[in-house]
Amino acid sequence: MTEALTHTTAENSGDTTAAAATQPVASTATQAPADVPLSSADVEAAVHAIADRSRHAARRMAMANRSWKDRALRAVGAALQENTGAILSANARDVASGKANGTSAALLDRLTLTDARIAGLVAALENLANLPDPVGNVVRGQTLPNGLRLRQVNVPMGVVAAIYEARPNVTVDIAGLALKSGNAVILRGGSAAQATNEVLVRVLRDALESVGLPADAVQTVDQYGRAGANALMKARGRVDVLIPRGGRDLIQTVVTNSAVPVIETGEGNVHIFIDESANEDMAVEILLNAKTQRPSVCNTVETLLVHSGSSVLPAVATALRKAGVRLHADERIRAALPASIESEPATDEDWGTEYMDLDLAVAMVDSLDEAVKHIRTWSTGHTEAILTNDLSNAERFIAEVDSAAVIVNASTRFTDGGELGLGAEVGISTQKLHARGPMGLTELTTTKWIVQGEGQVRG
């Protein structure tokens, strides 16, 4: 490999190349733990060693130009196709173990890989390769009156860590985004998907080596279990940012215990409000898609709010029940439903629940104001949608609802990095600092100020 590891954008061009950086790096597999349980100090030392290798790999990834990173992404895609059999075999073992352990249907769905889902991962990697490189992008710039030339440019984060559970697709998504944005990544994918992730990480590392990039740009601490995750959370100074992705308990554990800066990806207590002007056919189609297409994911609707003046409730409820959705309804909704439509009384617990299953809380409201008040009370700030033919109501909803994504007349399932043209996503951030909403390539970069002068000094 003789290609220079240097950016080729107009703002960051040059032919400076570290000779060593052009040579393939031998795979440095993380040492597996011995049969004798490791002490916490031993685990910490092992995780620190992984992080240090990631730091070294990150420096090289930061110098890789777009064509080299895109070649790596396509090599990963080809390797996934070539190793589909081994991946599915490992995944079948994880799924069987999950069933034996009583894992819920929703988590089993997230855990399961199929030929189609692997093909989707390959397509997402190709989409990433076709996207512009965020590294070196000029955010803003100017020349000051004293002649200093300023630029603020996107640069990689460095070492990105991710803690997630039962989602082997995330292994590929996060690794692909990290590589394209010039970062190294450390993964903790959880015991539920350990066999699958072991194969995936090996495939990713081998693919990187095949194009002359450091295998250590993708590493895992899965072999150290929860102790490895705890050590990763405490590796401040070695890990630049930590991203949790999973259920509420996992996310809150990371947010509460991490010494590493965290980008919080939140649970999805997602709402759809049907106002009195909404079209019945559109409402039925959107609700079926938003609730039943894939109930186990975070952008699935969990609460439906229906305006008391709307006439669409019987049609929507009938379609949802035929699709197997269990309705948890307030008294006014239950009174308005035809006797043939089954429902159960809703409680406050229902309004705050992310079901991740074929369950839906349903409430009746008398106004847009009441709908917004309900959302402000119970929302996790992920995604909210309004179905309406009233432009004024749509604009008010957009202005007054404070969530990461606000949707008008479309399914909440579109809150997704791939669907929104980001190629893939690390997660959907519900916080307001640095990143909010689906996190793609740009969200895995930070910025650097570049100041160029000709001898100026401050007066």
User: Is residue 414 left, alpha or beta, with left meaning phi > 0 and alpha meaning psi from -120 to 50?
Assistant: alpha
Note if the pTM is more than 0.75. Answer: yes
Which of 231, 257, 283 marks a domain boundary?
Answer: 257
For residues 215 and 248, state if they share a domain: yes
Q: Check pLDDT > 50 for residue 458.
A: yes
CATH code, domain with 320 = 3.40.309.10
Q: Residue 217 domain-assigned?
A: yes
pLDDT at 435: 85
Which of 257, 287, 309 marks a domain boundary?
Answer: 257
Mind giving me the DSSP string for 136-178? Answer: T-EEEEEE-TTS-EEEEEEEE-SEEEEEE-S-HHHHHHHHHHH
**Mean pLDDT value across the chain:** 90
Domain of 284? 271-415
Are 106 and 296 contacting, i.e. CB atoms less than 8 angstroms apart? yes
3-class secondary structure, 36: coil
For residues 104 and 246, state if they share a domain: yes
Q: Residue 28 domain-assigned?
A: no
pLDDT at 29: 41
For the record, the structure tokens of 44 come out as: 């910490």
Q: Residue 230 domain-assigned?
A: yes
Q: Determine phi and psi for 398, rounding to 5 degrees.
A: -60, -45
Q: Residue 306 domain-assigned?
A: yes
Which of 257, 279, 307 marks a domain boundary?
Answer: 257
Confidence of residue 427 (pLDDT cuts 50, 70, 90): confident
Q: Residue 445 domain-assigned?
A: no
For residues 149 and 284, state if they share a domain: no
- Across-strand partners of 301? 270
For residues 287 and 242, state if they share a domain: no
Q: Residue 425 domain-assigned?
A: no
303-312, 319-328, 432-441: least confidently modelled range: 432-441
For residues 251 and 364, state if they share a domain: no
Q: Residue 265 domain-assigned?
A: no
How far apart are alpha carbons 88 and 78 in whole angstroms? 16
Confidence of residue 35 (pLDDT cuts 50, 70, 90): low
For residues 373 and 238, state if they share a domain: no
Candidates 341, 361, 384, 357; CA nearest to 292 is: 357
For residues 243 and 314, state if they share a domain: no
Q: Check pLDDT > 50 for residue 6.
A: no
For residues 173 and 288, state if they share a domain: no
pLDDT at 25: 35
List pLDDT tens digits, range 167-209: 999 999 999 999 999 999 999 999 999 999 999 999 999 999 9
Q: Check pLDDT > 90 for residue 352.
A: yes
For residues 278 and 405, state if they share a domain: yes
Confidence of residue 7 (pLDDT cuts 50, 70, 90): very low
List pLDDT tens digits, range 392-415: 999 999 999 999 999 999 999 999
Structural domain count, the chain: 2
Q: Residue 19 domain-assigned?
A: no
For residues 250 and 279, state if they share a domain: no
For residues 332 and 208, state if they share a domain: no
Higher-pLDDT residue of 146, 106: 146
Are 157 and 444 contacting, i.e. CB atoms less than 8 angstroms apart? yes
- Pairing type for strands 241-245 and 359-365 reads unpaired
For residues 319 and 227, state if they share a domain: no
Candidates 406, 319, 425, 409; CA nearest to 362 is: 319
Q: What is the mean pLDDT of residues 3-28?
A: 35
Q: Check pLDDT > 60 for residue 32.
A: no
pLDDT at 439: 83
Confidence of residue 105 (pLDDT cuts 50, 70, 90): confident
CATH code, domain with 241 = 3.40.605.10
